[in-house]
Amino acid sequence: MPFTNRRHFLGGSAGLVLAPYVSAFAEYAEDVPHSRFGADATAEQVTAGIDLSGKTALVTGCNSGIGYETMRVLALRGAHVLGTARSMEKGRYACESVKGHCTPLVLELTDLDSVVACANEVQSMDVPLDILVCNAGILFRDRREVRGLEMHFVVNHLGHFILVNRLLDTVIAAPQGRVVVVSSRAHRSAPADGIRFDDLSGRSWTFSAYGHSKLANGLFSLELARRLEGTNTTSNSLHPGVVDTNIFRHDESRRSRPGLKSLGEGAATTCYVATNSALVGVSGYYFVDCNPEEPSALMQNVDMARKLWDVSEDLVSDFLVTRQAA
């Protein structure tokens, strides 16, 4: 069922109670087209025959891993890709190594001024942004803070929250803009009661900080989809699969896990959600292996999604362009 219809089932609930949501999602995404692609599909395969000439895409974390492959394939299909990296040197090297038109940009997600500067540079290009892929992320085993907040939450969620908000008008200006948020099945390892609004420093946490941030990614995408109703712009989140990339450089034990995807397979769902014509107008869903999959009840909690948006706005208000409340 489309996002607008899903709201009909959920709109009357109040608070952050999860029970009312479970039965409403018994037939999750029943009206969303299903693809023929599966876990072994590659980004090149899912975009075969698609012409992105004249379109502009932005991919965060373009210098390695899934972000690099996403940039490479979108550029291969004709898009002008704006690839962000933590330094111009890394971004330029990545952009120059792929076939097609790619422009490097600096984006350091721990530095919120850097996020603003990156968004300003994109806006100065004065072109609609057809695809915005929030891909960059971190994974640490120890607890770290940025500005008094847990670091996964800042980098994986808040930095992208600022970037998307500042570029949203640019995406809406495209004929059919798409915001694609790379979440993870790890969102299921978040705390049982969801986002820890009472302690975003992480000091009292005993659960996966990465999973907490991936839940935030999904909730952000869900609330963004609600706010985009009435426009031609969509927002969806996804799990790319487990891929041996630099995100595991601080946790080498995960590199030996069985069933790891190749980079091409890991970027497939991102590229599918970003480009496939069957998904025009499809918004507010979570995809795995190029098809919709029901996420946890927490990630479907529209009240928690709205609260996360409001709290995020308060936390980074100095870095946001003021937008009319939805």
* CATH code at position 78: 3.40.50.720
Amino acid at 290: C
Our answer to whether residue 210 is catalytic in this structure is yes
Number of other CB atoms surrounding residue 154 within 10 Å: 25
Within-domain flag for 65: yes
pLDDT in tens, 242-293: 987 655 544 555 545 667 899 999 999 999 999 999 999 999 999 999 999 9
Within-domain flag for 21: no
Within-domain flag for 54: yes
Domain containing residue 190: 3-9+35-318
User: Residue 66: which of 139, 125, 129, 128 has the closest Cα?
Assistant: 139
Indicate the burial class of 252 (C-beta count within 10 angstroms; 0-12, 13-18, 19 or more).
exposed
Number of other CB atoms surrounding residue 14 within 10 Å: 7
**DSSP class of residue 80?**
E
**DSSP class of residue 153?**
I
Amino acid at 252: E
Question: Does the model's pTM come out above 0.85?
Answer: yes
Within-domain flag for 248: yes
Determine how β-strand 80-85 pairs with β-strand 56-60. Answer: parallel
Within-domain flag for 50: yes
CA 206 and chain centroid, separation: 25
Positions in the chain short of pLDDT 50: 1-26, 249-250, 255, 324-325
What pLDDT score was predicted for residue 8? 27
What pLDDT score was predicted for residue 245? 66
What pLDDT score was predicted for residue 251? 54
What pLDDT score was predicted for residue 321? 75
Within-domain flag for 22: no
Domain count, the chain: 1
Within-domain flag for 154: yes
What pLDDT score was predicted for residue 246? 57
> 73-96 burial string, b = 16+ CB within 10 Å, else e?
bbbbbebbbbbbbbeeebbbebbe
Q: Which two tokens stand for residue 297?
A: 């009840």
What pLDDT score was predicted for residue 66? 96
What pLDDT score was predicted for residue 243? 85
**Which of 210, 272, 285, 286 is an active site residue?**
210
